[in-house]
Amino acid sequence: EDQVTQSPEALRLQEGESSSLNCSYTVSGLRGLFWYRQDPGKGPEFLFTLYSAGEEKEKERLKATLTKKESFLHITAPKPEDSATYLCAVRADSGGYQKVTFGTGTKLQVIP
Amino acid sequence: DTGVSQDPRHKITKRGQNVTFRCDPISEHNRLYWYRQTLGQGPEFLTYFQNEAQLEKSRLLSDRFSAERPKGSFSTLEIQRTEQGDSAMYLCASSFRTGSTGELFFGEGSRLTVL
């Protein structure tokens, strides 16, 4: 069964303190890895899609990378408005249907 | 395009009552998903439609749950005889056919509280 594990569960950073979030996955037939941001009480907001090992995507202070077993979301010089839960998800083949499985997320708090 | 919309945003009900949630996907999307999310957890897959056909349903989904997508447009998720364990955020998402980037676009969710 597909598994997605995110670490750490929670991360507290000072404003400007760069760090990385980890997403490790075990799937057969990976068809894409997604990163989402979720604010409290809201639906997840799409950030990035990665398809193959070595691929990188950037958006403002965020950079996502992918290897064969894990993905990292690097946050450079974070600001308080980056505080949110960051979710990782994988799309994989599942009996002819491509299922999307989510991890439990990393709750990021950026302190001014 | 106003994105995925869900209604109601909040629902409080008593145990044993039936509830129904509605999802209007992005108009050109033919795939529609329902997820459930509890506090501190990631979204958990419930069911998936391609056009009007329900192609996948989670084994975790009780028979009290039923979903429809008539005419391949909006979808409804009904929970019969609600239990306190059904309290959660119910999220709807839509996407294009795989072959594009394949990401899911989520609505704001419908929060259910069962007393």
List, for residues B44-80, the tens digit of each pLDDT value.
999 989 889 998 888 878 899 999 999 888 999 999 9
The verdict on a CB contact (< 8 Å) between A49 and B103 is: yes
Percent of chain B surpassing pLDDT 70: 95
Confidence of residue B1 (pLDDT cuts 50, 70, 90): low
Q: How far apart (Å, rounded) are the C-alpha atoms in residues A36 and A44? A: 6
Local structure of residue B97 (DSSP, 8 states): P
Q: Which of B15-24, B34-43, B57-66 bottoms out in mean pLDDT, i.e. has the lowest?
A: B57-66
Which residues does A contribute to its contact with B (CB < 8 Å)?
A: 4, 6, 31-32, 34, 36, 41-46, 49, 87, 89, 91, 94, 97-105
Alpha-carbon separation of residue B60 from A92, B3, B22, B44 (angstroms)? 19, 28, 21, 10
pLDDT band at B101 (very low <50, low <70, confident <90, very high): low
For residues B75 and B23, the answer to whether their CB atoms sit within 8 Å is yes
Q: How many residues does chain B have?
A: 115
Tokens of B45: 């897959």
- Residue of higher predicted confidence among B56 and A8: A8
Residue of A2, A45, A46, A101 to mutate for B, most B C-beta atoms under 10 A: A46
Please choose, from the candidates A44, A52, A71, A24, the residue with its C-alpha nearest in 3D space to the C-alpha of residue B104.
A44
Which residues have CB under 8 Å from B104's CB, separation 6+? A34, A44, A46, A89, A100, B33, B93, B94, B95
CB burial class (10 A; 0-12, 13-18, 19+) of residue B63? exposed
* List of residues 6+ apart from B17 with CB closer than 8 A: B81, B82
The H or E element that residue A45 is part of is strand A45-50
**Amino acid letter, A70:** E
Q: What is the mean pLDDT of residues A33-60?
A: 94
Contact between residue A96 and residue A35 where contact means Cβ atoms under 8 Å apart: no
Which residues from chain A sit within 8 angstroms of residue B48, using beta carbons? 97, 99
Residue B75 Cα, gap to closest chain A Cα (Å): 17
Helix (H, G, I), strand (E, B) or coil at B85: helix
> Who's near B71: CB < 8 A, 6+ residues apart?
B52
Looking up tokens 């799409």, which residue turns up?
A46
